[in-house]
């Protein structure tokens, strides 16, 4: 079993979008995958409830009301979708449980400011664990000024940008049907799927 926590204390950063699409990817790659929803809002589990039984299955696990002391061992992958505001001892406990942490960051001054303290504590807690933390630049085109701003911001934390995910209604549309961009490999998702390659490679390394 390998595990990844998707976290950022800022609401709406793209945690559930990353978590649901990531589990969709693993399911379509023939791997068994459990999606642990740590959020009381249960967005991930609601998404799963819409999922067509004909597409590759994902197991759901609701874990928002009590602390997870261990992760299920049976699946190939466990993906944890964190709630907004996750910090302090709860964050520390999850960091101890997982192999990797992926942090979606939207390159706006509001999002970056709200994420700063979180990145400082993650760096501190994960020191000594090589290649365990990475950033996903969310809703951004890498050629823009916003992307350059994010890159400059991240130089202070020495964390890699694993992928740039563009802003597109494709994510909104697939989510509405309990799907990921990997469940419906139509040509219109080709560009989006390509953007995930470097993140997926990093997770498997
Ligand atoms: N790349 C994208 N392009 C367009 N819309 C996106 C993208 N990523 C996320 N969104 C949309 O932005 C909104 C917030 O995303 P999401 O729910 O994944 O964030 P979150 O971090 O899980 O939020 P919360 O902190 O409330 O749990 C959603 O409506 C989602 O569909
Ligand atoms: Mg969410």
Which tokens sit at 129? Answer: 């664990």
Q: CB–CB of 85/97 below 8 Å?
A: no
Cα of 170 to ligand 1 centre, how many Å? 12
Residues near ligand 1 (Cβ within 6 A):
11-17, 39, 43, 84, 138-139, 165, 167-168, 171-172, 175
HSE, CB side, 13 Å, CA atoms: give it for residue 101.
Answer: 25
pLDDT for the residue 184: 82
pLDDT for the residue 186: 78
> From the alpha carbon of 167, which atom of ligand 1 is closest?
3
pLDDT for the residue 18: 98
pLDDT for the residue 31: 97
Closest residue CA from atom 10 of ligand 1: 14
Cβ neighbour number for residue 153 with a 10 Å cutoff: 19
Q: Where do the domains of the chain lie, and which CATH numbers do they carry?
A: 2-204 (3.40.50.300)
Tell me 33's DSSP state. Answer: E
- Probe ligand 1: pick from 7, 17, 84, max atoms within 8 Å of CB? 17
Cα of 14 to ligand 1 centre, how many Å? 4
Cα of 173 to ligand 2 centre, how many Å? 16
What is the C-alpha to C-alpha distance for residues 178 and 18, in angstroms, rounded to an integer?
13
Cβ within 8 Å of residue 163, ≥6 positions away: 136, 137, 195, 196, 197, 198, 199
pLDDT for the residue 66: 77
Q: From the first residue on, what is the mean pLDDT of each consecutive set of 10 residues in the chain (205 residues)?
A: 97 98 97 95 95 93 81 96 93 95 96 94 92 97 95 93 98 96 89 98 96
Cα of 53 to ligand 1 centre, how many Å? 24
Report the side by side order of strands in the sheet with 33-37: 59-62, 33-37, 77-81, 2-6, 100-105, 133-138, 161-165
Cα of 148 to ligand 2 centre, how many Å? 26
Nearest to 138 by CA among 166, 169, 176, 168: 166
Cβ within 8 Å of residue 43, ≥6 positions away: 16, 37, 81
- For 19: left if phi > 0, alpha if psi spans -120 to 50, otherwise beta; the answer is alpha
């Amino acid at each position: 079993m390998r595990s990844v926590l998707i976290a950022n204390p800022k609401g709406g950063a793209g945690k559930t979008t990353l978590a649901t699409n990531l589990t969709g990817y693993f399911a379509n790659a023939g791997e068994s995958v459990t999606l642990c929803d740590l959020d009381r809002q249960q967005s991930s589990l609601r998404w799963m409830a819409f999922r067509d039984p004909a597409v590759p299955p994902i197991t759901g696990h609701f874990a928002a009301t009590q602390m997870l002391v261990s992760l299920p061992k049976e699946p190939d992958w466990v993906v944890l979708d964190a709630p907004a505001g996750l910090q302090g001892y709860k964050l520390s406990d999850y960091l101890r449980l997982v192999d990797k942490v992926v942090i979606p960051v939207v390159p706006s001054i509001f999002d970056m400011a709200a994420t700063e303290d979180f990145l400082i504590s993650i760096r501190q807690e994960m020191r000594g664990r090589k290649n365990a933390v990475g950033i996903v630049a969310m809703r951004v085109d890498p050629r823009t000024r916003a992307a350059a701003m994010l890159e400059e911001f991240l130089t202070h934390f020495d964390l890699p940008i694993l992928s740039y995910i563009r802003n597109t209604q494709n994510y909104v549309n697939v989510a509405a049907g309990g799907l990921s961009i990997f469940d419906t490999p139509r040509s219109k998702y080709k560009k989006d799927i390509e953007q995930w390659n470097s993140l997926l490679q990093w997770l498997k390394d």
